[in-house]
Amino acid sequence: MGVLAKDELLVLPESLLTRFNSVFFDHSPLTLWGATGCDLQSSEVDRILNIGASVADYWESRHALHKQRIANLANRRRKIVKEYGELSFFESDLVTEDQVDFVIEQKRRQYKKTNAKDIFLDPFPAKLMHILRKIDSTYCKLFLSELYVGDKWVASHLGIRNGSLLHYWFPIYSEAFRPFSPGLLLLENIINHMPENALQLIDFGEGDADYKRMFATDEYTNFKAFINTVSVGGLMSKASAAIKWRLEKLYSSTT
């Protein structure tokens, strides 16, 4: 997927191929690949929220672009408070084992309900989340946000924090509060508390979900890149990848 390293690190394809016949990058923002003869299979737009100079300035810009939607969100906030009581918001980078398990359980229910791919069918992602929970580093740390109304759970998000950047990974919410757009209410609170948490950016990742267009201020392009040696192993890997990508493209065009 990528490399956790300092910004000044430059990884050249020829250095990677001294150890491997082929390397596949599924999610690479490095524009370097286009100039090095790599096989760029496709690209995806990733969306980012930059809070800018202040929260007030950010919401002013969102209101100018999405006036009706921001007004609708405020209306839902008033309705849930009127019906259930005041909202309570909590955030922490000290995440417990039970909290990770709860997010995974709720996310799996969400995948099933929406007929989305369940990434937790493979045990590795859950194992990885528990490994990350124990890491104490400003460059790679789990960060949990939770929204309640009274003693009732409304929504949560579990992601990874890298300094002032929050990677938006696993938002979940209670179906009981679905009419109030709980995911948007949660995100609104995350944004409002960014300055006090020393957060400047939220990376929503690839995809064109409606909420990303609503809240994001910037975008960038990620690539799928494949590099290989001119050897039996390298050419076989490239042929296998090409067949896989063609099958995926055919499947996506027929569903």
How far apart CA 16 and CA 229 sit, in angstroms, is 10
**Maximum average pLDDT range among 12-26, 216-230, 234-248:** 216-230
The span from the CA of 189 to the CA of 156, in Å, is 11
Q: Which residue has the tokens 């990885």?
A: 128
What pLDDT is stored for residue 36 in this prediction? 53
> pLDDT tens across 74-93, in order?
999 999 999 999 999 999 99
Q: Among all chains, which residue has been given the structure tokens 């491997």?
A: 20
Contact indicator for 48, 42 with CB cutoff of 8 Å: no
pLDDT grade for 106, boundaries at 50, 70 and 90: very high
Q: Please tell me the pTM assigned to this model.
A: 0.82
Assess whether pLDDT exceeds 60 at residue 34.
no
Thinking of the domain 54-199, which architecture would CATH place it in?
Answer: 3-Layer(aba) Sandwich (3.40)
Structure tokens at 81: 């408070």
Digit-coded pLDDT (tens) for 115-124: 999 999 999 9
Q: What is the 3-state secondary structure (H, E, C) of 19-83?
A: CCCEEEEEEECCHHHHHCCCEEEEEEEEEEEECCCCHHHHHHHHHHHCHHHHHHHHHHHHHHHHH
pLDDT in tens, 122-135: 999 999 999 999 98
Enumerate the domain spans of the chain.
13-47+221-253, 54-199
Judged against a pLDDT cut of 70, whether residue 255 lies above it is answered with no
Q: Write the DSSP string, 186-238.
A: HHHHHHHTTGGGT--EEEEEES--HHHHHH--EEEEEEEEEEE-SSHHHHHHH
